[in-house]
Amino acid sequence: MFILKKNAKKFVYTDLMTIASVEEQRIDLKIKVPRENIRICVIDDEGFDINMLYDLGYMNIRKKIQFESIDEYKDYDIVLCDVEGIGSNVDMDRQGLAVAEQIKNVYPEKVVLLYSGKNIETFGEMPKVIDGYLRKQSSMSELAKSLDNYYRKSIDPIVVWEKTRNEMLNNKISTKTIAFLEDRYCRSLLEKKEYLYSNTDVQDIERFSIENIAKYIEVLAKVVEIVGRLHTDV
């Protein structure tokens, strides 16, 4: 339970849990990420050998040689996208850059990486929304390490909150609503209960609109679910 007390000029928040409580527990260090659970899609029209990633423990990996429908990527955690030859049907000039940008814009919670052996600047500027760029010249062990790191960052509860909070501020979500969600998010993580979809005490927040924050709740709830599933007592 939290309380919002209003004085003459501002609201004073008491009993609200903040992300500092999660940081103190170092939940991020207690998340074990089994490679077999990471769902990966590789978009590459050339000879990417997914069997080499199978050998390193990634058991849930698929390869596509061309971009067809955006709906095909909704079930993946990581999308590894070549630059040349796989996106001419989307953008003849930018090719894979345009494909990766489209996927990331529709599924911002996913890790979308460019993967190429060539200079991507030949095809245009790297989209700012893309999570990173990996070179094909890297060894498979180096690639696997990068995939692990990017995925871990994508489900790091502190990183996700900071990113989500900044997006809410940029979209003019009120600080009272943000404080409310931060409290619910932290309690969900630490108490391992579902608070984000509960409407209790919603009336305490001025101009609270579930429609305005539904997409943020969805992102946070997904992290709570994943962290709860992968959390260990190490």
Cα–Cα dist 206/223, whole Å: 27
Say whether pLDDT at 81 is over 70: yes
Average pLDDT over residues 44-50: 82
Cβ–Cβ under 8 Å, residues 184 and 196 = yes
Q: Which domain holds residue 224?
A: 3-28+156-230
Cα–Cα dist 19/15, whole Å: 13
Domain termination residue (choose one: 100, 134, 155): 155
Q: Do 139 and 191 sit in the same domain of this protein?
A: no
Say whether pLDDT at 199 is over 60: no
More confident residue, 10 or 23: 23
Hey, what are 69's tokens? 């429908």
Give the CATH number of the domain where residue 83 resides. 3.40.50.2300
User: Lowest mean pLDDT: which of 24-28, 70-74, 96-100?
Assistant: 24-28
The sign of the torsion formed by the CA atoms of 31, 35, 37, 38 equals positive
**pLDDT for 203:** 46
Q: Do 9 and 53 sit in the same domain of this protein?
A: no
Q: Do 146 and 167 sit in the same domain of this protein?
A: no
Q: Do 69 and 84 sit in the same domain of this protein?
A: yes
Say whether pLDDT at 121 is over 70: no
Q: Which residues have CB under 8 Å from 9's CB, separation 6+?
A: none
Q: Do 43 and 134 sit in the same domain of this protein?
A: yes
Average pLDDT over residues 98-108: 91
For the chain, what is the radius of gyration of the CA atoms? 20
Q: Do 65 and 98 sit in the same domain of this protein?
A: yes
Cβ–Cβ under 8 Å, residues 111 and 77 = yes
The model's pTM is 0.78
Per residue in 161-193, pLDDT tens?
A: 999 999 999 988 989 889 989 999 999 999 888
More confident residue, 76 or 138: 76
Cα–Cα dist 209/186, whole Å: 20
Q: What is the number of structural domains in the chain?
A: 2
